[in-house]
Amino acid sequence: MNKFYLLSAILFIAGLLLILFYGDVKGGFFLIFPFIVGSGLHSALGIFLIFLSFLFFALGMMERVKEEMTGHSEISGEEEFAEKKIEGGGVVFIGPFPVIFGTSLKAVQGLIIIAIILMILTMLFIFWSLLLT
């Protein structure tokens, strides 16, 4: 495991613990974006540790990419390596409409199933919140 990833996880958990146990904090969602509002020194320190964990996570990603790039440049031309086939894709919801993209039919079919499940869960949460009010 990358040392930056480990440090990021430790800082994130420490920040959450500070916020939850010592701070006067409220949180929620604005549209799809989570937010935290707090007052006091412990809340500020907890939020700072969480942002610091994001920074170390990004540094870990950059170090991993750097290691992979330098590892591939040192390979001699005589060695044979198997080709890796990487498949991927994604789902972006624009309002209620999913935009699905992928590199293969198998990836897109899996993402269609995930998109349908997410749409059903979203509708259930909306109807559930309407019933509670």
pLDDT-based confidence at residue 35 (cuts at 50, 70, 90): confident
Asked if residue 76 has pLDDT above 80, the reply is: no
The C-alpha atoms of residue 8 and residue 30 are separated, in whole angstroms, by: 25
**Alpha carbon separation from 127 to 31, 98, 103, 117, 120 (Å, rounded):** 17, 20, 35, 15, 11
pLDDT at residue 63 in the model: 87
SS3 (DSSP) at 67: helix
More confident: 19 or 73: 19
Question: Residues 54, 116: one domain?
Answer: no
Q: Is residue 97 part of a domain?
A: yes
More confident: 1 or 67: 67
Question: Residues 102, 51: one domain?
Answer: no
Q: Which domain holds residue 47?
A: 3-73
- The single-letter DSSP state of residue 64 is H
Q: Is residue 50 part of a domain?
A: yes
Would you say the pTM of this structure is higher than 0.85? no
pLDDT at residue 83 in the model: 73
pLDDT-based confidence at residue 112 (cuts at 50, 70, 90): very high
Question: Residues 27, 61: one domain?
Answer: yes
User: Cα torsion for 16, 33, 55, 43, to the nearest 10°?
Assistant: -30
Asked if residue 125 has pLDDT above 60, the reply is: yes
